[in-house]
Structure 1
Amino acid sequence: MRKTGTILFLFFLSVLLHAQNNFIPGSITKLDGTIHKGDINFQDWKRSPKQIEFRNGDGTITFSPERLLGFTVGEETYISRLTSLDVTEQNLNKMHPSTPVEFMDVHIFLRQLVEGNINLYEYFDYRSHYFFEKDDVFRELNYREMLTDNLKLKPQKTFIGQLNLLLSDCQDVHVKESMSYKKEQLVKLINMYNHCGDQTYVYKKRREIENGSGAFIGVGVTKLNLNTESSESAFVNYSPENNMSINFGGFYELFINKDLKKWSVLGELGFFTVKGDTEYSHVYFELFDYHNRQQFEYQISSVDFNLLIRYRFNTNNQKLIPFLGGGVGVNFTSGNLEVFQTKDGSDGTNHYKFEPRKMNFGLSLGAGLEVSKFALELRYGFVSKVFSFADSSDLQTFMLRAYYNFN
């Protein structure tokens, strides 16, 4: 178990180290207006990047906002602006009733959310700041919270008045006083304005996180390892053999990164079954060469729930995508294990019967290839302490699994 845990840790460490570089196709626009295509190290930024790494050929160049007009990467567009940013203290532990409203001139990258007659952008440091661009005006939509004399937080929704003035030339768009300073509400409002007069336009929310579901089936080899300390045990000289196993079920996959589709969380619900038999013996009376002879049979089935992290090595939007995955699982187990023992020099047969524990825990590691809706994976599974009578009893499986994604 410890060895398997070490393998799982090293697996995730190697994936994390690889994930530090996510160069995908993109372009930069320099200050003179020229556009250069190449690869950009895209990190699916939650905080707006202070600089980017651009690769064109063999060399990698770092660009700060001062050196670019903007860049595109994946499905995202960023612009560079020197602007006034609201830096009023918003940390409650540092705020007081006389906290001043403060602005600072900064040169920053901002992510474009909406493009049209009005452009909408987002900058995120420790909170979201939204900016609009209309004609030659570029400005922040201001929102902040201030502490009153009785130590209560009071929102200052300056952006409501800004939006009323900004959208006043479209009678079809109205700003509610109850509107929140949230991305989805702002994106919807600006899109409605940009389609002012179009009676056929219906706003559709962009899905921020992709997901998928499907089915899988696998065939593999499974080994039941048993270890007991007793020298009189019916399992002395037992040597585990590989037996065919079958696994099938369904999965649901939630993508963490909507553009790259590299990281995802995979939930699997499946049925697993394996059965096997073997014969073995050991000498219990050397003078007469008397043996204990055992016939060993087992059948184990389980309903498994696995929760895994999957990482795709998708750097160039290629059709054939390698991936790695790993995680933990819970197994609800049924079945039995039977040993029929006969002794040379004695009559009769001893019969031992054991049942597996009802619930067990396991680990999974996998590597495979994905193309379109199909995927093939070589999966290693480890389930510990299957039987209570043994000092250690685990199932180890190597399986080839085929996936089909319904989405």
Structure 2
Amino acid sequence: MAFHIATLILLGLDAALGAVLPPPWANPKLNPCATQPGGWQLLYWPPDGKCYKIFKTGYPCSNDMELSPSPTKSGEQKFSAECRCPPMKAQSARDGKCYDLYSRGPCEKGFYFAPDTNYTDDNSKRLWGVCTQSRPCPGPNEIFWPRDGRCYHKLTKGPCPKGQLLTTDPDLIPQCRCNKHRELRDYRYSDNQCYQHFTRGPCREKGHLFLPDRTCGCHSFLPHFHDDTRLCYEIGTIGPCNSGENYQLHPETRRGTCQCKAGYVRYANTSSCFRPFTQGPCAVGEFLINSTTCIAQPCPRGHLYFLPQDKCYRIGTRGPCRKGRIVTFDFDTRPSLDGISYNGVCSCEKDVYDNNCDEEEITECSKSDGMVWYRKRCYKLYAQGPCPKVRVGMRGLVNVFLDIPGR
């Protein structure tokens, strides 16, 4: 219900700003109920010819469904209503009922209820669910989180909101929880929220961590203790370190030290680490290739650099890659943090490129200036392309599909 209230508020605000027109079902030509008082909140129900309030749970729907707008085509387009599951729920084909997504729902033990991505219906926005088997994790104390397909350590914050930790229910379905039960008791603070041990957690004093005795403190015998500042920092965070570094356990001393992030190199024995193939400490028009060397950026626009061949290849072509793979961006590099990367990699990743790259299609795409092969299609650079729309200040903006400047 809160979701729908927020939606209606945003519609009202956007309308006040002149950014969004009234919803289609507010048009009397499309919705017979729109002529009634408050008609923009009413939908026409064909079985009895009556009007009912939008997003109403229960009659004329079943108790687990709500009334939602649905375009129908019978001679001319009209808006009526259909019964659909509320947000974050889906309908099961087994019994027609609605169940929470990512719960056990109607599934057997070891399975969870997930959106059925193989089913589509152009005439309905009804969401169906399907029982999906949980994926095993490599670590013995890890939990698979189906919402993002990743594994996280049990009793850590993982993907959970602040004050909750990752665990499982009796059906082994992952849950974010904080309660007084034995498993979570030692993680529960006096504010009735749960925090991962040896993190900042609820601690307000600088350099203090949340300890297993449920207090905030810092001790010199902890591996998190930093000798220079005499404070404690979370392992894996930037801590007292410089840009490009993380506070990590030293492999020999098992004490926290500032080390380069994975994939970074320390430049010329300085205290700064940079991502290779970005500008880093180099002059404009150059990029770093190792801990001591900057070279002039050699690639023309739309090309990426391969160090073993000391050569540039156009994005989306086979280049130096083996059959079935193509030249792509280094998606591990984050331009907003690391800078623009000129590193080329050979890839054919699922959901990014075809599993079996069609070299002929890719080559044809690359013949046109300003075009690049991405997610099984040819797109024009600097247009919206496959990028989603974003909203800023409740007015629509568009992300732009960018190439790397200067290439």
Using structure 2 for the length normalisation, give the TM-score.
0.21
- Larger Rg belongs to: 1
Q: Which has the higher contact order (CA 8 A, sep 6+)?
A: 1
Question: Could you tell me the TM-score, scaled by structure 1's length?
Answer: 0.21
More strand by share: 1
